[in-house]
Structures are given as structure tokens and as C-alpha cells.
Structure 1
């Protein structure tokens, strides 16, 4: 028995030492694996525009080999602009005219891809719709002259410019609204000093439903042009109507350019593999969203669950309405750099006084992050 006890004691000692070694080695290996990743911090706004980033983070961040992918939600575009321009973060997802204006101010970054195509809409309140009488089905609502002429008529009747809330004055939305009104002979002002039937004002996207509600409560004409799903939120909540979608105002192959992905020169130079990995998984997440919207069911509910985890203000109904496969008013395909598509936006932004100077698109863009290039 004494001999057996000695063997048992020896075995336990060896087992203890082995376990301690494995635990220490395993922890060290895990630490080495984690430390070998490079932090990629990205800024986003709570919009359907940036859904692919949320899905990429939630589903695929743990699978990334080179990137420790992190996302931070910003309350408005000016905060995002200031934070990104400080150089303290690696990436940001930004509306294209605003991004060009940022580049003019401080060209320390490059455009590396798209976050989505199309994706914004004009919403109007009942006071405007009483004169417009929109079609019941959203698929039948097109950017004809009815809303534009109603806005002009209300201006002539009241002598007051109709305020339309935009996420930012230097937004793609401003470009879309400018083009729509111009095509129907209605002027728009982007300052309070120039008299026009329509005045664009800046209202943070999450506050746009409150803007239209407050105006309606005072029996005033109200409208906003915002990214999805905010227009869908006022429609599904019963206090506003989607008048038209940007895809019909700005027709473009595969959908017009909207929010784009930016990466700092420092991150591109020092964290190249990590930036490429994040870009690839954002596109994969975009494919996931496209599959979910077409198949519906569990796959769509899974996407809705991820979005509401990070943006609870987006209702399930509004998310599903935004991703309606029949409407297809936003899409997450063809997300590589689209220089001609950006030029379309830039030329109209310059014409409308939304941005003051053009950018050299060749210098602004970096196509090494196009997915076909990455996969070679």
C-alpha cells in the first residue's frame, strides 16, 4: 500500500505540474494571438447605411486574424467628423460630400470602398400629403412634380420657406434633394440668409421623427430627407409618409454612391492587412444582408436582432420595411470604389453649393482594397 501511495502521490504531482504548464502555455499563446492583432477602430452613425459594419462586427470580429475590429457609434456627423479628423481612429463611414469636404480640410485619409448604395428617402407630414395624395403602395411613389409644386405653393401662400431636415448640410441627401427640386423648377437654400421656397436645415437622424412630429403639432408643413430607416419609422408609426426614394431621383448603375468607407493614411501604411480584412468582412456582411432580405424568415430575423442590439431605436418593422426585397431602396452590393459614381455626386454638390471645391478623385481614392484585388 505504501508503494501504491507513493506512485499515486508522484502521479498527482506530475499531473499538477503538467496542468500548470499547459494552462500557462495556453494563456501565453492566447495572449500572443490577441496581441498580434492590430486594433482597427471605426466610427459609425445609427443608420441603415452602416448595417453591414454592425453585422461584420457581431458575426465576424472573432474570426479576424489580423484585425481587432472595434466600432463606436457617434451621435451626429459633426462629432464623427471631429473625432476622425483628430487622427485617433483608423476608419469611419461617412456620407460622400461630407467626406470630400473633410479631405479638402485635412487629406490624411483615403476612400477605400462603399458601405452601401442608394438608401435615403423624403418623408412628408399629413399637411403636405393632403395636397399631394401619395399612392397607397410605396412601390408606386415616384419623384414626380407633386411634392415640389406643393412645397412651392405653400411657400407662396404663407410667405415662409419650408424647412426640410437633413442629416447634415454636406450630405448626399442634400445633393439628392437639390437635384429633385431643380428638375421641377424649385429653388433650395442651404443657408438661412438666402430666400427660397425650401430651406435645408441640419437635424441629427435620430431626431428627425421628433422634428416632423413637432411641426405637425403646430400645424406646419414638415418634411425631412434622411437615411433609412427613419423615413420608414415615421410611416410605420403613422405620423408621416415616404414620398420617394433617392434611387429614383439619382438613377445609377448598381445604385448611387452614398456612404463611403474611409481609412487614415497611417492605418493604411501600418495596418494594411487588418484594414483589408475588415473591408472583406464588411462586404461579406453585406452579402449576408442581401441573402437575408431575399430569403426572409430566420435569416432576416437574425439580421434584425443584430441591428437592434446596437441600434434599439430602429424598430423591427422599420428595419424590415427598409430591407424590403421588392422595393430594394438600399443595397449592399458592388461596394468597391466607384469613381464615376462619386463624380456624379461631386458635380451636383458643386453645382448646388453644397461643397465649395472639387477633390482629385484619383488622389482621394485607394483601390488596393477592392475585393478582387485583395483576393489575388
Structure 2
């Protein structure tokens, strides 16, 4: 415990899965009710690998990050802990309008874009294909290409021959492509795995140990930001438009059409969900090196004290 008021820097991507960081920053760091125990700084990244590299290098105090990627970092050096879920659901499968995709089987012979191999997106698309009898990999039915989320819209726009069948990614990039006229919704992730986890909030273990009051204050502000976003989606969309550098129309659509496309009311970690995730990604796909001890990875204290649901 210390009386020092640290500056804590959190990495994130410009996706609606990370909207609560922007809402909390608007309400506290930049707003009328400043944080008491710390100063908040945020750093935006285009893709997952640079964020993960900075987190591993100790250049970030915490991050909003893909759960499987966070678990892999924990497996490698055990210096981070999960304190909260960032959201639930919130991703989308888009079919390229030029690729003539009407059903799952039509993805055969196509490349599909995913944001990272260590992601729930990989799990969901793999499972969807397997259920239709398709196999993923070189020389098989479908090839997956990893592309930074923010680069996906441009790739679809320039794919005049429809070689890319589509993609699965966190919003708002799917809705952006739909509104631009280059793709159509094939499925929402909430319909592939209802109420699924995806991104989580992690912090360096030494920061958690040294500044527990700051960690609790930050956690509570995220829970309150989730409640605000659920009850005031129009105001949250205005904050999100600035924080995520997206049009207001796109963000408002993501938050309201349908209402449960992405949700922020239930942020308390559900260990069974993460156990299923790591089991799938170490057996069916073998994307993760190995399973981790989730009881040591997840620190429930702050979510429980903040009355996270």
C-alpha cells in the first residue's frame, strides 16, 4: 500500500469491446469527477501484437485484451492478472458481397480474416465451419488469415474478385463494412455463443499488489460505465465515436441494433466460460500453448467489491 498517486496506462484497440475504457475516461480522467487514487492514461493500438508486446515488455500497466492472448501471456511469465471482463458478445461474421456467400458451406475455397489466432473469433469461426463439415488450414477447405481489425475494412473494399469470403471481428468494423456497402451480416457472435466472453481487463501483478485502491477505483468506474452505456446508449455512442474514431451512426447502430449485439452489464468473470475457451483452444485448434490455472489468473476481489454482475 502506498500514498503515491500513480499514472496508470492502459492499452486498447479502437473497438466497441473497449468502449468502457473511453466512457470511464470521459467521466473521470477528463470529467468532473477525477480519480482519487490514480491518473488514467490510454494508448490505442491498430492491432493485437503491438499491444501484447508492450504489455509483456512492461510498457503498459494494464490492457483491454483478447482473453486467450492474455492467458497465453500469463502462461509464459505469469505477471498479469485479469480483474474484469470488458464486455460480452460484440463481434460479427461478415460475408463479402463479391464472394457469393449464402451459407456456411460457401466459404469453402475462400480465405477468411480473423483478428488473431489466440481469440474467441478463431474459436467461433472454427466451430461454425466444423459443424458444417468444413476443415481449416492449408490444403483444406478454408484458410484463415490474421489481419489487424482496423485493416479489415480496406482489404474487403479492395478485394474486387471476392477472394476473401468474409471475416469475423469485433465491432464496429463489421458494421462499418456493411454501411459502406462491401459486406453483409452473416451472423452475430452472440448467436454463435450466447453471452460469450471475448476481451478482458488485465493488469500487471505488481501494480495490483502495490495500488489496490487504484485498481478497485478503476474497476468500479468500469462497472459504472457499463451501467451507463446500457441505460444511455446514445450518450455512450457519442463518447465512443470520439474515443474509437468512428462515425456516430456506426457506433449507435452497434449499441442499439439489436440491443444485445454487445453488452456491458455483466462484467464479473465466469470461470466456466474461460475453461471452455482454453479447452477448445488447446484441443480442437491447439492455438494456445497449454491450459493455465484460471484461479491464479483471475483476481475476483475487485469485481466483487465493485458489485459487478
TM tier, smaller: over 0.9
TM-score using structure 2 length: 0.93
Is 2:90–2:262's contact at 8 Å kept on the other side of the alignment? yes
- Aligned residue number for residue 232 of structure 1: 175
8 Å contact 1:118–1:256 — kept in the other structure?
Answer: yes
**Cα 1:119–1:131, aligned 2, differ >3 Å: closer, same or farther?**
closer
Superposed counterparts of 1:181-330, under 5 Å: 181-189=129-137, 194-215=138-159, 217-251=160-194, 255-293=195-233, 300=234, 302-312=235-245, 314-324=246-256, 326-330=258-262
Matched residue, 1:38: 6
SS at match of 1:353: coil
1:173 is aligned to 121
- Output the CA distance in 2 between the equivalents of 1:245 and 1:231: 10
* Cα distance in 2, alignment partners of residues 50 and 86 from structure 1: 21
Q: Could you tell me how far 1:364 is from its partner in structure 2?
A: 1.1
Q: Is the 8 A contact 2:46 2:148 kept in 1?
A: yes
Question: Does 2:296 correspond to 1:348?
Answer: no
**Aligned 8 A contact 2:67 2:119 in 1:** yes
Q: 1:332 and 1:231 mapped to 2: Cα distance?
A: 19
Residue 373 of structure 1 deviates from its aligned partner by: 2.5
Cα pair distance change 1:367/1:221, threshold 3 Å:
closer
Distance 2:156 2:306 in 1: 44
Look up the match of 1:60: 28
**Which structure is higher in helix share?**
1
Instruction: Check if 1:84 corresponds to 2:55.
Output: yes
How far off its partner does 1:353 sit?
1.8
Equivalent in the alignment of 1:359: 292
Where in structure 1 do 4 or more consecutive aligned residues deviate above 4 Å? Answer: none
Question: Between Structure 1 and Structure 2, how many residues are aligned?
Answer: 302
Alignment of 1:152-171 (within 5 A): 152=108, 155=109, 162-171=110-119
Aligned counterpart, 1:331 = 263
Q: Residue 92 of structure 1: SS of its match in structure 2?
A: strand
Q: Which runs of 5+ in 2 are unaligned?
A: none
- Aligned partners of 1:175 and 1:354 also within 8 Å: no
Q: Distance in 2 between matches of 1:323 and 1:211?
A: 25
Q: CA RMSD in A?
A: 1.7
Tell me the secondary structure at the aligned position of residue 187 of structure 1: coil
- Please state how far the C-alpha of 1:60 moved relative to its aligned partner: 1.7
Match for residue 75 of structure 2? 104
Cα deviation, 1:141-171, whole Å, max 9, x if unaligned, reads: xxxxx2x21112xx2xxxxxx2111111211
Computing the radius of gyration from Cα coordinates, the structure with the larger value is: 1
Q: CA deviation at 1:374?
A: 4.3
Work out the CA distance in 2 between the residues paired with 1:229 and 1:208.
11
TM (norm. structure 1) is 0.77
Local SS of the residue matching 1:323: helix
* 1:7-156 equivalence runs, <5 A: 36-61=4-29, 62-128=33-99, 130-132=100-102, 146=103, 148-152=104-108, 155=109
